[in-house]
Structure 1
Amino acid sequence: MNTFKLYRMVLLLVTGVSLSCTDLDEQLRSELEQGVANVNAADLLIGAYTALNTPYQQEQRWVLEEISTDAAMAPTRGGDWDDNGIHRAIHQHTWNADNSYMNNTFNNLLTAQFQASNVLRNNPTPQQAAEARFIRALTVYDVLNLWGVVPYREDLDDFRIPPITLQATEAIDFIISELNEIMNDLPNSGAAYVANQNAAKVLLMKLYLNRGVFLDRQNPTFDPADMNHVITLADQITASGRYTISAPGKYFDNFAPNNHTASTENIFTLYNEFGVRGGGVDRTWNTIAHYNMTPGGWNGWCTLSDFYDLFDEEDERLGIYYEYPADTMANPGKRRNVGFFIGQQYNLSNDQPLMARNPSSQPLSFTREVTIRTSGNTLETAGIRVLKYAFDYSVPSGQRNNDWVVFRYADVLLMKAEAILRGGTGTSDQALALVNGIRANRGVAALSALTLDELIDERGRELYWEGWRRQDLIRFGKFLEPWQEKPADPGPHTLVYPIPSQQLAVNPNLEQNPGY
């Protein structure tokens, strides 16, 4: 819609990008404000949902949450994927306040915050207002998680007034208050791509589980009362009867082109539909696929062998041949088409082995071995590739139909198990049963006991590349440790990202995080 371009223009005034200029064009301002006022709440709400696509769909927020961990890396491949070292810096925790991923993520989360707030100025229905406030609470949570403080604009009428800065306690209190106030106005049934009561409960679960982390990331505490909130909310979601763990062989239903109907787990998603609207879910393929795969990709991102080795070979989540309606490949060899791609790759139409591009005599065989800078014969083949969203072959080009998963039921059960282990009401046997119930449907043997170390590994296996790994590693005290292609962090300042330099320059209410 044309209003989306309008929002992007308004953002320059909202986040302060233009505040350094004192001679703002008042005529332009008047036209912008009049244009926004003339858009109805329903259109504005769609714009607020749409604004989440860029940071979420394997782009900005996703990069900060996954490439910074042991689960994902974007190696420089000769002259490709260098981009002035921004990807390497994120994986190795050597970033600074000028990293473009951080500035773009910061900007786009605040874009969604503004668009959600703007819905409230345009006579929304109670449900529309509740959905908008949920989106706003989600963005406040994301910024708090990534940066530790949150710019928040109270005055949408005078853009010369910079946003206030919510400290951690203020942001936490704001999110809890917002979600509790809107709960009864959110729908308790319907499509997962509409903000709903269970989505609000999942967000509250994440907040209570991480509250002690957000208040002291280096030495977090876990209040039993917070853990009991997590458990109570999980039980309420279960009692709704809307969700079950995917049946054996159906894990990838949660991420398929028809996941809006096939999934039994998805609680909140971002809408993607060819010819209608959506985000760049096709990046999940493009960023990992080799040029000679079908379709060709950008030959980029991968996982690390230590992370791959967390899985048992029979684990469905590691990858399978997955049959789904939008798969038009003949795949006569029933080759793996989702999950982790390792070893020789094949043309899925005729089962012929694929070759690299340069040299073309080299088999296209993805290797366990990968360095953060690759060259020579390893340039195109280094690194195990990961595809969680089955490619939508039914669409000739453009928008794919896989809805992007934000919250799903397996995460709810894993958070409940963790809350029990961290002092909430329940027994270790109950926590173990929750985890083993998931594992049984993924085709792997039951664990005999459950420790926090085993639980962080299970969260990695279940939720890989869904945008939660950094947060999990911080909560479990492992984010500063060394792993493949990353030494131990020199200090704890990397537990939050630096406030982007461009934001500091235009918002006097922001201060740089310590250590940067």
Structure 2
Amino acid sequence: MKKQIYNITLAVLMACLGGLTSCVNDLDVLPIDPDELHPGNVGQSPENYSFMLNKLYAGYATVGQEGSSGNADLGGLDAGASQYMRRLWDAEELPTDEAINAWNDGNLNAFNYASWTITNEFNTIFFDRIYFQVAQSNEFIRIMSALEPTEDLPASEIARYIDEARFIRALSYWHGLNYYGNGIPKVTEENTVGGDRPLPWGTWDGSELFDYLKSELEYLTSNESALKEMGTAYFGYADKGAAAMLLGKLCLNNEVYLGTDNNNAGEYYAVAEEALQSLVNGGYSLTTTDYTNVTAYQSLFAGDNQLQKNEIIFGISYDGAAIQTYGGTTYLMLSSVGGDMKSSDINMNGNWGGNRTTGALYDLFESGDSRRNYFFTGHEKEINNPSLFTDGYGVMKFTNVRTESMDRNDPNGGFADTNFPMFRLADAYLMLAEAELRQGKAVSGTAESGIAAIRERADLSAPASIDLDFILDERGRELYWEAHRRTDLVRFGKFTSGEYVWPWKGNVKDGAEIDAKYRVFPIPSTAINNNSNLVRTPGY
């Protein structure tokens, strides 16, 4: 499928949310450009609604309306650094054993050591990105819900557009819950533009946002949902498989969001198990074919990985010509090359010398595990100086090489074609086994066979037994650098505790326990200053 992003603007982007840069006061002013969507022309063509939906998906991939850094949606930070997936990846990976960054850009190194504050600019823009997605989704749902069906835009198409927007909103709201907790602002399509400042979903230990997301995702996976069936949407678009995966992730983390003493933990793990069982039996399959240029495993992270739709359940689309950004997979590749590494090996041009890994991740791998082949071991394994890129092994897991060619859409090699695989089947098999174990059950044959196939692809034998410790380590080996690690370590109780440490955890060379408050990020001071209904995150 050709990947394309349309440069459009939603009719009204958002209500005035605490934390976003500003609110527009003159919404009745129409743009001069007749090709730009605005309230005066949005209904003139049914095609406009598909453009608007594409803008929602593009919110995960781009920074604004013009190329890699032009006309950014949000201010307050360098446009390239503000990109949604770049901020998500840094928040998920840099505070863990999987990655450490060498740059001294502003307060970015606070992510290396889990020492961020309420005023950290990178945390602020991530919060704003999440709510920008939520606000755009709300407005799109309002617009679509008010439409009367026509021959060119039948009711079934309107319903699908609405349900895709509900998935996008649920995904960003899950990020909000996962990183910031239940005290974040409550904004849905019911909020009016320019209305009262939103209240929080509830208290920090409340279940309001969790319950809302569970209800939304159970609907989106049901027969009543207008989402396409599992595995039938075009790459980069949501179907019921993506919704089932998100429901599984939400419920698998229920004790993180609701506390270990919540009375419904068993019920929520059962919901996760059911969603994941439907997913692994939903027609997806693991990629097992080796190609001319890449192995089966690396084809999932290659320049044409949209071909692996059998395993990639939901991905964020990139294109070196049409979807240029200094975030996303371009960031993952170029920030990970420097020193003696060659960007030409991954079909790119440039070396930013930023991100590399710690010895703790490398040591998770068994001898003979082919997934370890994508580390660059020509640098020092030990990190004596976090600001020195060549201290720490490089990671070349993501590549702009295609399965059967060295073609690339950007002839200069500055921007990647590789899509980001947000959800994939291997993750679902590991999650299924974990959901079963957390209910006190034996691991099912379905999960066992899936994990055995994952290991076989890595040139390893099936595990002699599967317990929670194995699951956490195998997730590290299979899913490294795919933006899962902080969430996993928090769920397993090892992110802040001294039970498991890694180099430079807590800004100590050999690692140290960190304050439990860092299990979540703080609602930024800008959001609290702009909305008196919000309160500070506990501990900050």
CA RMSD of aligned residues (A): 2.8
Matched with 1:507 is 531
Among 453, 456, 471, the alignment partner of 1:437 is 453
Alpha-carbon contact 1:479-1:495 (below 8 Å) kept: yes
CA distance in 2, matches of 1:413, 1:372: 38
Identical amino acids, percent of aligned pairs: 30
CA distance in 1, matches of 2:199, 2:504: 38
CA distance in 2, matches of 1:429, 1:511: 47
Superposition deviation, residue 58 in structure 1: 5.1
CA distance in 1, matches of 2:180, 2:24: 32
Distance 1:459 1:36, change over 3 A: farther
Letter in 2 for 1:510: L
Matched with 1:252 is 298
CA distance in 2, matches of 1:299, 1:224: 45
Superposition deviation, residue 100 in structure 1: 1.4
1:112 aligns with 2:112: no
- Counting only pairs closer than 5 Å after superposition, residues 17-28 of structure 1 correspond to structure 2 as 17=20, 26-28=25-27
Alpha-carbon contact 2:18-2:528 (below 8 Å) kept: no
Letter in 2 for 1:166: W
CA distance in 2, matches of 1:238, 1:490: 37
How many matched pairs? 458
Alpha-carbon contact 2:311-2:425 (below 8 Å) kept: yes
Among 140, 144, 156, the alignment partner of 2:173 is 140
Residues 266-285 of structure 1, C-alpha deviation per residue, up to 9 Å, x if partnerless? 00011223443365321111
CA distance in 2, matches of 1:28, 1:230: 43
CA distance in 1, matches of 2:447, 2:537: 37
Matched with 1:100 is 121
Residues 342-392 of structure 1, C-alpha deviation per residue, up to 9 Å, x if partnerless? 11xxxxxxxxxxxxxxxxxxxxxx110213534xxxx45221111222125
CA distance in 2, matches of 1:229, 1:272: 33
1:44 aligns with 2:52: yes
Matched with 1:423 is 439
Q: Answer 1 or 2: which has greater helix percent.
A: 1
Matched with 2:358 is 304
Matched with 1:82 is 104
Alpha-carbon contact 1:147-1:497 (below 8 Å) kept: yes
Matched with 2:238 is 195
Among 446, 463, 470, the alignment partner of 1:447 is 463
Superposition deviation, residue 120 in structure 1: 1.2
Unmatched 5+ stretches in structure 2:
1-5, 43-47, 63-81, 146-157, 507-511
Residues 103-130 of structure 1, C-alpha deviation per residue, up to 9 Å, x if partnerless? 0110011111111112112236111111
Alpha-carbon contact 1:245-1:410 (below 8 Å) kept: no
Distance 1:430 1:16, change over 3 A: closer
CA distance in 2, matches of 1:380, 1:489: 25
Residues 250-305 of structure 1, C-alpha deviation per residue, up to 9 Å, x if partnerless? 01111111111135310001122344336532111111111673322111111001
Alpha-carbon contact 2:380-2:392 (below 8 Å) kept: yes
Among 213, 219, 227, the alignment partner of 2:256 is 213
Matched with 1:347 is none
Alpha-carbon contact 1:368-1:384 (below 8 Å) kept: yes
Superposition deviation, residue 502 in structure 1: 1.0
Letter in 2 for 1:511: V
Superposition deviation, residue 433 in structure 1: 4.4
Distance 1:380 1:177, change over 3 A: closer
Matched with 2:219 is 181
Among 240, 256, 277, the alignment partner of 1:235 is 277
Alpha-carbon contact 2:285-2:311 (below 8 Å) kept: yes
Alpha-carbon contact 1:212-1:221 (below 8 Å) kept: no
Alpha-carbon contact 1:224-1:424 (below 8 Å) kept: no
Residues 283-336 of structure 1, C-alpha deviation per residue, up to 9 Å, x if partnerless? 1111111167332211111100111111124222112xxxxxxxxxxxxxxxxx
Superposition deviation, residue 172 in structure 1: 1.1
Among 392, 396, 409, the alignment partner of 1:383 is 392
Matched with 1:323 is none
- Counting only pairs closer than 5 Å after superposition, residues 343-362 of structure 1 correspond to structure 2 as 343=378
Matched with 1:367 is 380
Matched with 1:456 is 472
CA distance in 2, matches of 1:259, 1:18: 36
Residues 4-46 of structure 1, C-alpha deviation per residue, up to 9 Å, x if partnerless? 4x78x94694445466xxxx77435655899256433222211
1:163 aligns with 2:198: yes
